[in-house]
Structure 1
Amino acid sequence: MELNSLKDAFDRVAKKQKLSCSKTQEVMDQIVQEIEKTIEVMQSTTLDYKSVLAELKKKFHEIAPLSQLEGTQKELNIVLSKYPKALEKALNPDISMAYRNIEFDSHTVNQIIASHFYRQGMFDVGDCFVTEAGDAEEAAAMKSPFLEMYQILEAMRSRNLEPALKWAATNSNKLKENGSDLLLRLHHLQFVKILQKESRDEALMYARTNFATFAGNHMAEIQKLMGCLLYSDRLHDSPYTHLLSPTNWDIVAEELTRQFCNLLGQSYESPLSVTIAAGVQVLPPLVKFMTVMSWKKQEWQSMKQLPVPVELDKEFQFHSVFVCPVSKEQSTDDNPPMLMSCGHVLCKQSINKMSKNGSKTFKCPYCPSDIDAAQCRQLNF
């Protein structure tokens, strides 16, 4: 809403400025026109210059340029004076009020930043950072796997699948455990690449060598690829032309990146990028809260739980575990997280204990709501 109101304010300024410029240009054209007429008269007649200039002065009084411009300029000044206030309201320059004085482990933070540079392929920047941060010894361990990944991806961009196939074959068991068919996708690309060279026999030999182990679960896909053999000399003009799309390579490259990070025990998205993106979302409500509660700054610094609800988009909701805020224990199958009618969540054992096994209602530990254990619902993360 704030950004929409800011856009509306900007549009009003732009509209008034356009009107002001148009009116100014119109008045200037009138003045130039009268001056040109006066020059023509002075060049073509022997009239006294003073009378000609007096007539020009009279025309200027009739045009009244300042009076014509005054109205539009006044309207422009009004909206211009309001725009900085709208900017200040929508884009609060002082975000430091939401800062909490918390000690950070600088070594861990440096590792996260360095890892971000390496996983983005910015190896020179990462090396420079770890050197200045004094963590060069651990940098090699972080850099090496991502260096291998980008070498594989770079080879794929050059349409060389050998490094990718070698890596996928080496890690085939782990890929199967993850439910990934990356190895088959890579063989798929290699098969089509061979067939594009109009080498039907070589493509058939490649299929016999590499597709047999996937026949049990992917027969339909393999049969489709075998159908391509009938059009080896005109694959671009066939029912299988979609197999030649460069998008197929991009999709497989993304899957390889995802699985590579997965086998490293890391997320596909950079933790630093996710943290910053989530922080951008939660910052406005926190700044707004602190603007209202500025007189309680010390209390804000000592709070152990956020006093206001902070909503995050679905892409940031990926908790694999839940820790009960009452018992401080992780949820299990026997002790699952339960959503109470007020919207807060506790583990089942905590609810049973506080409700005497459902025999009475109890107060939520975080709000004054009365909770009936029978109305609590199990949550699945």
Structure 2
Amino acid sequence: MDLASMQDAFDRVTKKQKLSYAKTEDVIDKFMHEIQAAASKLDQGDVVDHSAVLSELQAKLTAAVNQLSSAQKEVNLALSKYGKVMDKQFCADLSKAYRDMDFDHRLVNQIIALHFYRQGMFELGDCFVGEAQESEGAAALKLPFFEMYQILEHMRNKNLEPAIEWAKSHHKELKEKGSSLEFKLHQLEFVQTLLKAGRWEALLYGRRIFGKFPDHLGVIKKLMACMVYFARDVGSNPYKELLAPSHWESVALEFTRECCGLLGQGYESPLHVTLSAGSQALPTLLKLSSVMSNKKGEWQAMKQLPVEIELDKEFQFHSIFACPVSRDQSSAENPPMLLPCGHVLCKQSIVKLAKGNTRPFKCPYCPMEASSSHCRQIHF
């Protein structure tokens, strides 16, 4: 999708519309002025020729109407071009990019139900599970996500106790992952105690809790120093960033990530990721299907796309090597191989260049020669 051309066409329409609006206002003002002037002349009675005044007024109003029509034509022309740009960018028949594949309908239903539960739409998820007759799978994750959203609701109300209890019950798992979520929750509670109950209560809370987190001694020292400066002007407090409300949002986000991680789920919904990545790949797939329209059987049987599809970094979950010679992605049967010169090709490309294993070959990217026995498999 060419967003730049769509934006340019839209900008042209808005520019023409603004010019037309300004011209319309000017013409209406001119209308009023001419009508008032003609009325003043007509009030003079028999001194003036009434028919001549009205004829002159009609001629002036007709000229003004023609100006409006000209401006409106320019707007309509820009709108027509914008519509053509939109039609060109959006293809109504998306089925052209569809390939016949066997789907596990139960798995698809579970992904959809899981998406509803992940978004906190529990009633809608229950309704979908009931109508799809999927009593297992995603429905089993409803309770953990329901608990997560309840805790997040308490955090929005500045109540950290449920979140702290959850972190305590998962202390071992969080520690194994190297997560500092539990400490950050106590840090927020310390700051909230300082703001609401004062320094003495915050000090008691810190003495009772922070000894359990020796790995965060640097932050603990800053919290203690922030408590000393607390009674002074906030602007002069060198540790005022510890009091920023933005910490609540960041900790809530980290809590959500850790909850999903312990459930074996990614932070982003699989359904959302799939649809977002698919929408980016769709223009390329539509062009490819159009080019191969005369080879429908080959398109349906194709196991690997003959073109590269660029996706944003957010959709890159692991390293993928594509051979610069064959453009094929590496696989277990066709792994990436390091040449002595430092360039990397896939194994099948090296076999073709070396005519099997019979003779040395020249690297496609430098003058150095190599043999297949001198190439080493590399791992990403």
Range of TM-score over shorter length: 0.7 to 0.9
Distance 2:338 2:37 in 1: 84
Distance 2:263 2:255 in 1: 12
How far residue 182 of structure 1 moved from its aligned partner, in angstroms, is 1.1
Distance 1:363 1:303 in 2: 30
1:10 aligns with 2:13: no
> Which moved further from structure 2: 255-264 or 313-322?
313-322
**Matching residue of 2:225:** 227
Distance 1:13 1:327 in 2: 48
The code of the aligned residue for 1:16 comes to: K
**Matching residue of 1:278:** 277
**Matching residue of 2:332:** 329
Distance 1:330 1:183 in 2: 45
Q: 1:359 to 1:212 in 2, by over 3 A?
A: farther
Distance 2:231 2:178 in 1: 35
Post-superposition CA distance 1:45-72 (Å, at most 9, x none): 1358xx4124422453466526545654
Q: Secondary structure at the match of 2:309?
A: coil
> Which moved further from structure 2: 3-12 or 253-262?
3-12
The code of the aligned residue for 1:11 comes to: D
Distance 1:106 1:188 in 2: 46
Distance 2:55 2:283 in 1: 59
Residue pairs, 1:11-26, within 5 angstroms? 11-26=11-26
Q: Secondary structure at the match of 1:136?
A: coil
Q: 1:339 to 1:27 in 2, by over 3 A?
A: farther
Q: 1:24 to 1:111 in 2, by over 3 A?
A: same
Q: Secondary structure at the match of 1:281?
A: helix
Distance 1:234 1:315 in 2: 44
Distance 2:375 2:4 in 1: 40
Post-superposition CA distance 1:151-191 (Å, at most 9, x none): 21112122222211111112112111111111111121122
8 Å CA contact retained: 2:321, 2:330:
no
The code of the aligned residue for 2:332 comes to: E
Residue pairs, 1:162-241, within 5 angstroms? 162-215=161-214, 217-231=215-229, 233-234=231-232, 236=234, 238-241=237-240
**Matching residue of 1:37:** 37
How far residue 250 of structure 1 moved from its aligned partner, in angstroms, is 1.3
The code of the aligned residue for 2:228 comes to: L
**Matching residue of 1:95:** 94
- Corresponding residue pairs, total: 365
Q: Secondary structure at the match of 2:178?
A: coil
**Matching residue of 2:85:** 86
Post-superposition CA distance 1:116-173 (Å, at most 9, x none): 1111111111111111111135554120111111121112122222211111112112
Q: Secondary structure at the match of 2:46?
A: coil
Q: Secondary structure at the match of 2:43?
A: helix
Distance 1:112 1:358 in 2: 51
8 Å CA contact retained: 1:34, 1:56:
no
Q: 1:62 to 1:228 in 2, by over 3 A?
A: closer
Distance 1:111 1:371 in 2: 51
Residue pairs, 1:99-138, within 5 angstroms? 99-138=98-137
The code of the aligned residue for 1:42 comes to: L
Distance 1:177 1:358 in 2: 51
8 Å CA contact retained: 2:97, 2:282:
yes
How far residue 98 of structure 1 moved from its aligned partner, in angstroms, is 0.9
The code of the aligned residue for 1:38 comes to: A
8 Å CA contact retained: 2:321, 2:329:
no
Q: 1:107 to 1:358 in 2, by over 3 A?
A: farther
**Matching residue of 2:54:** 56
Percent identity, aligned pairs only, is 49
**Matching residue of 2:298:** 299
Distance 1:330 1:128 in 2: 45
8 Å CA contact retained: 2:118, 2:145:
yes
Distance 1:64 1:326 in 2: 69
> Which moved further from structure 2: 142-151 or 22-31?
22-31
Q: 1:206 to 1:307 in 2, by over 3 A?
A: same
Runs (5+) with no aligned partner, structure 2: none
Runs (5+) with no aligned partner, structure 1: 365-369
Q: 1:234 to 1:15 in 2, by over 3 A?
A: closer
Q: 1:31 to 1:207 in 2, by over 3 A?
A: closer
Distance 2:149 2:313 in 1: 29
Q: 1:71 to 1:379 in 2, by over 3 A?
A: farther
The code of the aligned residue for 2:54 comes to: L
Distance 1:277 1:134 in 2: 27
How far residue 235 of structure 1 moved from its aligned partner, in angstroms, is 8.0
Q: CA RMSD in A?
A: 3.8
Distance 1:313 1:372 in 2: 37
Distance 2:241 2:158 in 1: 17
Distance 1:224 1:326 in 2: 50
Q: Secondary structure at the match of 1:197?
A: helix
Q: 1:177 to 1:235 in 2, by over 3 A?
A: farther
Distance 2:100 2:62 in 1: 63
8 Å CA contact retained: 1:322, 1:337:
yes
Distance 2:153 2:18 in 1: 50
8 Å CA contact retained: 1:168, 1:182:
yes
Residue pairs, 1:362-373, within 5 angstroms? none
How far residue 33 of structure 1 moved from its aligned partner, in angstroms, is 3.6
